[in-house]
């Protein structure tokens, strides 16, 4: 028995894999997440992908039930025939019956060492992501408000190699599903063309590319996003071709860090996600590590920002240019005009107005998940005055400046 336990610990790298999951589950609550009654925060997530079966395999290995682990592994392979990690685990389990093993992956004799390391990393992030999910009383901090026509939102956590799908439930984000993903070979925070990193920020799906228009490398399809966005361009970031896409037909999944910057899902996961993606509407928020808020804290932050937008709208209607201008950052730039020139231009324009009415409908607000503190606000603007009327879809970037939210960019969306 002792010998089998030794084999078991080495085969499964249980000390690493299972400890990683258990430590995450028993550790501190996510950032900005208040500890409350465990029953009220227990998640009821829809299991996505092979994680439930994979967790059963390692549970069986941890408790030295190798025969059960083999049965669970066979079930995993039957459900996901191209899942290389499952085949490697099966090889280790078979080899452990004849001799002690010294390292994870010895059962895959033809598997290169770097491939074994990739599969081990995949096992760790899959199990950790599966076992450390947030409670249903918490939402990603970034989904402050969704446009009524935005049926869903996507939030990616690059550290956990996890994508979360949320539904717009009358303005409140409600969890739908989560999926394992791969990111850039050199991690996140993309800044330049060819750096093999995944961008961090607030983006939107811009188009849908079907399998028929792509090579097999991209799997069942692709959904480009608008990197670089307006904020990225202001920061001097460049590059292009950042997509959500699938895997080659002979590959179930790729290692956690395997793309040139894209977010990659298993084909069946992409197919499931695709049903919820709306071109031009669905936000895709990519974070290094998702911050979670209780619904109460989320509502407080949301209300505070809506109040700032309403004050901006009211001050515009007042025709008091000084009150209106206080909502704009000193770094604001419009059509080549710096802040001061822009204010003087507005002062002259307002001099010819006897009244102004501004409507702001269908507001969406998404907070940047990176170190740079900004909120992307999009709305339908209905502007009317005594000598001009127009309607447009407007996008603004609000930043925190001296403790106050101010507009640093605005333009047509």
103 pLDDT above the threshold of 80: no
> Do 109 and 121 have their domain in common?
yes
Asked whether the beta carbons of 75 and 103 are under 8 A apart, the reply is no
> Do 326 and 372 have their domain in common?
yes
CA 68 to chain centre: 35
Asked whether the beta carbons of 395 and 413 are under 8 A apart, the reply is yes
Name the percent of the chain lying above pLDDT 70. 87
43 pLDDT above the threshold of 70: no
Direct distance between the N- and C-terminal alpha carbons of the chain, in angstroms, rounded to an integer: 66
More confident of the two residues 396 and 2: 396
pLDDT band at 31 (very low <50, low <70, confident <90, very high): very low
Sign of torsion over alpha carbons 183, 184, 189, 194: negative
Looking up residue 253, the CATH number of its domain turns out to be 2.40.440.10
Mean pLDDT, residues 37-64 taken together: 68
Q: In terms of C-beta distances under 8 Å and separation of at least 24 residues, what long-range contacts does 294-300 make, across chains too?
A: 294/33, 294/34, 294/36, 294/137, 294/138, 295/137, 295/138, 295/139, 295/172, 297/32, 297/34, 298/139, 298/141, 298/144
Mean pLDDT, residues 16-37 taken together: 37
Mean pLDDT, residues 209-227 taken together: 97
> Do 152 and 248 have their domain in common?
yes
Range of the domain at 312: 294-412
Residue ending a domain, choose from 107, 131, 155: 131
Structure confidence at residue 290 (pLDDT): 95
d(CA 246, CA 267): 5
Structure confidence at residue 111 (pLDDT): 55
Structure confidence at residue 11 (pLDDT): 42
Looking up residue 399, the CATH number of its domain turns out to be 3.10.450.50
259 pLDDT above the threshold of 80: yes
Structure confidence at residue 97 (pLDDT): 84
Q: Classify strands 143-145 and 356-367 as parallel, antiparallel or unpaired.
A: antiparallel
> Do 320 and 203 have their domain in common?
no
Residue ending a domain, choose from 131, 154, 178: 131
Residue ending a domain, choose from 223, 256, 290: 290
> Do 233 and 358 have their domain in common?
no
More confident of the two residues 174 and 29: 174
Q: What are the residues whose beta carbons fall under 8 Å from the beta carbon of 383, sequence distance 6 or more?
A: 356, 357, 358, 359, 389, 390, 391, 392
Structure confidence at residue 271 (pLDDT): 96
> Do 328 and 257 have their domain in common?
no
Average pLDDT, the chain: 87
Using DSSP, state whether 383 is helix, strand or coil.
strand
34 pLDDT above the threshold of 70: no
Mean pLDDT, residues 200-216 taken together: 97
Mean pLDDT, residues 35-63 taken together: 65
> Do 142 and 279 have their domain in common?
yes
17 pLDDT above the threshold of 70: no
Number of domains in the chain: 3
> Do 95 and 227 have their domain in common?
no
> Do 152 and 217 have their domain in common?
yes
Q: What is the pLDDT of residues 380-391, one digit of tens each?
A: 999 999 999 999
Structure confidence at residue 96 (pLDDT): 83
> Do 273 and 303 have their domain in common?
no
d(CA 367, CA 396): 12
226 pLDDT above the threshold of 90: yes
Q: What is the pLDDT of residues 307-353, one digit of tens each?
A: 999 999 999 999 999 999 999 999 998 888 899 999 999 999 998 99
More confident of the two residues 109 and 144: 144
195 pLDDT above the threshold of 60: yes
Q: What is the pLDDT of residues 110-155, one digit of tens each?
A: 557 678 889 989 999 998 888 888 888 899 999 999 999 999 999 9
pLDDT band at 370 (very low <50, low <70, confident <90, very high): confident
> Do 309 and 281 have their domain in common?
no
> Do 335 and 264 have their domain in common?
no
């Amino acid at each position: 028995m002792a010998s089998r336990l030794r084999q078991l610990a080495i085969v499964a790298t249980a000390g690493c894999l299972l400890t990683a999951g258990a430590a995450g589950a028993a550790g501190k609550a996510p950032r900005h997440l208040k500890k409350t009654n465990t029953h009220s925060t227990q998640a009821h997530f829809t299991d996505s992908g092979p994680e439930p079966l994979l967790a059963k395999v390692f549970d069986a290995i941890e408790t030295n039930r190798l025969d059960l682990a083999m049965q669970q592994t066979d079930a995993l392979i039957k459900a996901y025939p191209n899942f290389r990690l499952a085949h490697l685990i099966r090889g280790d389990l078979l080899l452990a019956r004849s001799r002690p093993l010294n390292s994870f992956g010895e059962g895959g004799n033809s598997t290169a060492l770097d491939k074994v390391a990739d599969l081990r990393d995949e096992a760790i992030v899959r199990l950790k992501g599966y076992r450390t999910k947030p409670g249903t009383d918490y939402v990603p901090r970034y989904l402050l408000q969704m446009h009524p026509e935005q049926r869903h939102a996507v939030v990616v956590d690059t550290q956990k190699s996890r994508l979360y799908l949320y539904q717009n439930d009358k303005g409140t984000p409600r969890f739908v599903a989560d999926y394992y993903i791969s990111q850039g070979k050199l991690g996140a925070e993309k800044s330049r063309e060819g750096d093999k990193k995944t961008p961090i920020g607030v983006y939107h799906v811009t188009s849908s590319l079907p399998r028929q228009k792509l090579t097999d490398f991209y799997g069942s399809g692709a959904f480009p996003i608008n990197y670089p966005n307006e904020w990225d361009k202001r920061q001097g970031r460049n590059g292009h071709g950042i997509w959500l896409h699938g895997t080659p037909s002979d590959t179930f999944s790729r290692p956690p860090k395997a793309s040139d910057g894209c977010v990659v899902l298993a084909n069946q996961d992409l197919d499931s996600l695709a049903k919820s993606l709306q071109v031009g509407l669905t936000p895709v928020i990519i974070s290094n590590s998702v911050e979670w808020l209780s619904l109460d804290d989320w509502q407080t932050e949301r209300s505070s920002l809506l109040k700032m937008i309403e004050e901006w709208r009211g001050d515009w209607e007042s025709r008091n240019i000084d009150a209106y201008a206080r909502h704009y950052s000193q770094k604001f730039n419009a059509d080549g005009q710096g802040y001061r020139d822009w204010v003087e231009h507005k002062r002259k324009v307002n001099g010819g107005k006897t009244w102004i009415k501004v409507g702001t409908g269908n507001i969406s607000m998404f907070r940047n998940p990176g170190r740079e503190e900004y909120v992307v606000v999009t709305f339908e603007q209905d502007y009317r005055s005594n000598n001009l009327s127009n309607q447009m879809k407007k996008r603004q970037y609000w930043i925190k400046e001296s403790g106050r939210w101010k507009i640093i960019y605005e333009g047509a969306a």
